[in-house]
Amino acid sequence: MSTQPSEAVERRLYNALWWAKVQSAGPLAVESDTPAVAGLTRAAEPDGSTVWLVPTMPSGAGHAVLDELGTPPVAVEQPNETARVLSIVVACCWTDRSGTAWPGAIGTLTQVRAVYAGMRGRAEQSSDLTLIIGSLRRLHATHWIRWNEKAGEVRLGPRVINWTAADQATLRDLCRHLPDPPAAVLTTAADESEAEPLPASDDGQEAGDE
């Protein structure tokens, strides 16, 4: 009898600790043997080394509530440009559209630039690259995508695991409207499996520091 409540209390304290961490830093990359935490969805990295803990709101409790309360959402620089680049990254990295978006494939900056020019319906301009890189960095900082600047490679971030089936249907439609990306030419196809974990773990630390 006495162990029952203390276990429940421990459980709540454990949850509360992780919730506090998530509240300050957003999705967290943790060791894959970390026990599950209530309310946080686990998004495993493709190589299985780490697991992202992503806060998952019940439907109707997310950012939509801000709209209803008439509160301005969290500000982001150039919101439309950033949203466009996120759409393009989805089009490039979500190769298997029949499955879920997470974890997706690796896309390249070349692909993103090509799709961007295609969406704009004109030849690429020098200012485009500035906009794209800026948007990619913003999206990386908020865990929407993982952007490896050195290799020029991009993946979808852990936040996409919260997309519902309806969201994914909308995005599938969006991808159909965007021009198809050219085939990805990864910088080092052979090293890819080894190169992948390094930037990912670096990114996790960076995100934690922010």
Summarize as ranges the residues that interact with other proteins (CB under 8 A).
12, 16, 19, 22-26, 39-40, 55, 57, 62-64, 68-69, 73-76, 79-84, 86-87, 90, 119-122, 138, 142-144, 163, 167, 170-171, 173-174, 177-178
Query: Closer to other proteins at the Cβ: 79 or 191?
Result: 79
Task: Say which residue the tokens 């990114």 belong to.
Answer: 203
Query: Closer to other proteins at the Cβ: 5 or 121?
Result: 121
User: Min. distance of Cβ 101 from other proteins in angstroms?
Assistant: 11
According to DSSP, residue 77 is labeled S
Under a CB-based contact definition with an 8 Å cutoff, are residues 83 and 171 in contact? no
Query: Closer to other proteins at the Cβ: 6 or 71?
Result: 71
Separation in Å, CA 89 to CA 31, 105, 107, 156, 198: 27, 10, 7, 7, 21
| Sheet with 153-156: strands ordered across | 107-108, 153-156, 145-148
Query: Closer to other proteins at the Cβ: 81 or 134?
Result: 81
User: Min. distance of Cβ 127 from other proteins in angstroms?
Assistant: 13
**For residue 49, what are its two tokens?**
């080394």
Nearest to 163 by CA among 100, 103, 88, 91: 100
Query: Closer to other proteins at the Cβ: 25 or 186?
Result: 25
Query: Residue 141: is it exposed, middle or buried by C-beta count within 10 angstroms (0-12/13-18/19+)?
Result: middle
Query: Closer to other proteins at the Cβ: 112 or 195?
Result: 112
User: Min. distance of Cβ 176 from other proteins in angstroms?
Assistant: 11
User: Min. distance of Cβ 166 from other proteins in angstroms?
Assistant: 8
CA distance 153 to 129: 14
Residue 39 phi/psi, 5-degree rounding, is 85, -10
User: Min. distance of Cβ 17 from other proteins in angstroms?
Assistant: 12
